[in-house]
């Protein structure tokens, strides 16, 4: 029998542009009640661009919440009801200035399951073509092309710490027999 909890009451304690936070009372499977603080997020989509030579494109940008510059796959947050695949294609163009002929679904990751509803959808893109890059006015990043093997080494040595990027690179490598 699957484990579950049933929401009895939910109080919104914050509503912002990107997240909403609720304080929920739940019934546990043993009949007792407990509380949960939940961050509600529309999710995100990311894309792993891979060129014909086996190079991948990553972005390097500062992330305020953790106070450091990190390596990531091109990605963006979803608007309510937005199709994740279309968002991933959009981010490929906006952040990398690329379009692609072929896309491979690499699945979904739940980055923080203890308190956050966010889901991140991941695709690999091949058959790349240049297009116009058009960053948001508050977006500052560098696009870096490197061999897949180097990106995998950066995951293994701890340089790439972003979870969606780790999962996307490792899963792509395993599916392609490169790991």
Q: Which positions are annotated as active-site residues?
A: 137
Alpha-carbon dihedral sign for residues 55, 122, 179, 114 = positive
Give the list of residues 6+ apart from residue 148 with CB closer than 8 angstroms, or none.
Answer: 50, 54, 55, 56, 169, 172, 173, 178
SS3 116: strand
Q: Closest by alpha carbon to 92, among 51, 42, 148, 151?
A: 51
Q: Closest by alpha carbon to 117, among 31, 30, 22, 47?
A: 22
Tokens of 17: 């542009």
SS3 71: strand
Rounded Cα–Cα distance for residues 115 and 134 (Å): 33
């Amino acid at each position: 029998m699957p484990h579950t909890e049933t929401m009895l009451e939910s109080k919104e304690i914050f509503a912002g542009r990107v997240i909403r936070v609720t304080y929920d009372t739940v019934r546990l499977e043993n009949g007792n009640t407990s509380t949960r603080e939940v961050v509600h997020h529309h999710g995100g989509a990311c894309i792993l661009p891979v060129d014909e030579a086996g190079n991948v494109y990553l972005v390097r940008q500062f992330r305020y919440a953790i106070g450091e510059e990190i390596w990531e796959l091109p990605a963006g947050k979803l608007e309510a009801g937005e199709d994740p695949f279309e968002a991933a294609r959009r981010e490929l163009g906006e952040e990398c200035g690329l379009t692609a002929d072929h896309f491979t679904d690499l699945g979904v990751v739940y980055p923080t399951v203890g308190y956050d509803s966010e889901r991140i959808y991941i695709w690999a893109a091949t058959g790349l073509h240049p297009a116009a890059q058009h960053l948001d006015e508050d977006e500052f990043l560098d696009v870096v092309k490197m061999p897949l093997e180097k990106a995998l080494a950066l995951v293994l040595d701890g340089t790439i710490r972003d979870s969606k990027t780790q999962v996307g690179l490792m899963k792509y490598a395993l599916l392609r027999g490169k790991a």
